């Protein structure tokens, strides 16, 4: 492999927990919930998959199904899908779905996996170009800058900017072109078999990592170094 494409959420970085997301938004507005009410709201938010990058939904309300399927094509669709899921969970007075949505885009809501920076740095040392290929509805570059990872990334291919979302081959082809490499020379690394694994249809090799909290996944990215050249 002569180049690597990485997914963003659940691969290089992970969003804060639903509890932290909710608590942060409540604290910003000076709101306090009773323990039982807070626990029930966390449960409902996770049931509907309201936190982008968090727990996958167990139920998508019928009126939101199409929005959820196409959410990563534009910023408007992304916000509409996730605020809709948040409203389905029900919110206390004084807290809105848009306020919660805005919080998930903050740089402090994301944390790199422990081996993300060392892996990217070693790839840079070896001269292996790196692209971030993400299904997303907002600009993640500030998150990479805030965590010191931006200098280690050569290109960003974001679904909302390209109008194509994984597993559409167009987004992977754009990634390969940005790296200046043929697909058969590029490794795609991601946590989602269907979305990220779609790169194999173009000829890329795929390496899957588990979608786990940061503390529970210390070294899933380091095997990537064995798959690329020196």
Res. 215 pLDDT band, cuts 50 70 90? very high
Q: What is the mean pLDDT of residues 166-177?
A: 98
Rounded to the nearest 10°, the torsion over CA 8, 9, 13, 19 is 160
Cα distance between residue 213 and residue 4, in whole Å: 23
| Closest residue by Cα to residue 52 from 73, 19, 83, 25 | 83
| Residue 182 confidence (pLDDT) above 90 | yes
State the SS3 of 157-204.
Answer: EEHHHHCCCCCCHHHHHHHHHHHCCCHHHEEEEECCHHHHHHHHHHCC
pLDDT band of residue 230 (cuts 50, 70, 90) is: low
pLDDT recorded at residue 129: 98
Q: Tokens 């998508």 label which residue?
A: 60
Q: Locate 203 and state its tokens.
A: 């000829």
| Average pLDDT score over the chain | 97
Cis peptide before 167 (omega within 30 of 0): yes
Q: What is the pLDDT of residue 107?
A: 97
pLDDT confidence tier of residue 229, bands split at 50, 70 and 90: confident
The two three-digit tokens of residue 123, written as one number: 């790839």
Residue 142 confidence (pLDDT): 98
pLDDT, mean of residues 50-75: 96
What is residue 183's predicted lDDT score, i.e. its pLDDT?
Answer: 98
Q: pLDDT (tens digit, 9 = 90+) per residue, 126-168?
A: 999 999 999 999 999 999 999 999 999 999 999 999 999 999 9
Instruction: Compute CA 179 distance to the chain's CA centroid, rounded to the nearest angstrom.
Output: 21
Identify whether the C-beta of residue 116 lies closer than 8 Å to the C-beta of residue 13: yes
Sequence-distant contacts of 114-118: CB under 8 A, at least 24 apart: 114/214, 114/217, 114/218, 114/219, 115/218, 115/219, 115/220, 115/221, 115/222, 116/12, 116/13, 116/149, 116/221, 117/147, 117/148, 117/149, 117/152, 118/222
Q: What is the average per-residue pLDDT within 164-174?
A: 98
What is the structure's pLDDT at 61?
A: 95
Render pLDDT for 81-111 as a digit per residue (tens, 0 to 9).
999 999 999 999 999 999 999 999 999 999 9
Q: What is the pTM of this model?
A: 0.96
Paired strand residues for 130: 4
Q: What are the structural domains, with CATH classification, of the chain?
A: 3-14+110-227 (3.40.50.1000), 16-108 (no CATH)
Kindly state the percentage of the chain with pLDDT values over 90. 99
- Gap between the Cα atoms of 67 and 82, Å rounded: 9
The whole-angstrom separation of Cα 135 and Cα 161 is 10
127: how many CB neighbours lie within 10 A of its CB? Answer: 9
């Amino acid at each position: 492999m002569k180049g690597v494409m990485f997914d963003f959420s659940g691969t290089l970085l992970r969003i804060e927990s639903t509890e932290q997301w909710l608590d942060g938004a409540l604290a910003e507005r000076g709101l306090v919930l009773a323990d039982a009410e807070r626990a029930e709201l966390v449960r409902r938010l996770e049931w509907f998959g309201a936190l982008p990058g968090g727990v996958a939904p167990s139920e998508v309300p019928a009126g939101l199904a199409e929005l959820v399927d196409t959410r990563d094509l534009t910023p408007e669709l992304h916000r509409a899908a996730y605020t809709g899921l948040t409203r389905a969970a029900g919110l206390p007075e004084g807290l809105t779905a848009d306020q919660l949505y805005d919080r998930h885009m903050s740089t402090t809501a994301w944390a790199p996996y422990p081996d993300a920076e060392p892996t990217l740095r070693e790839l840079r040392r070896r001269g292996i170009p790196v692209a971030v290929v993400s299904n997303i509805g907002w600009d993640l570059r500030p998150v990479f800058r805030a965590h010191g990872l931006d200098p280690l990334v050569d290109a960003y291919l974001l679904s909302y900017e390209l109008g194509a979302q994984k597993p559409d081959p167009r987004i992977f082809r754009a990634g390969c072109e940005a790296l200046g490499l043929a697909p058969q020379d590029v490794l795609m690394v991601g946590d989602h078999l269907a979305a990220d694994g779609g790169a194999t249809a173009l000829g890329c090799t795929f390496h899957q990592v588990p979608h786990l909290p940061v503390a529970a996944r210390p070294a899933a990215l380091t095997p990537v170094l064995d798959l690329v050249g020196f």
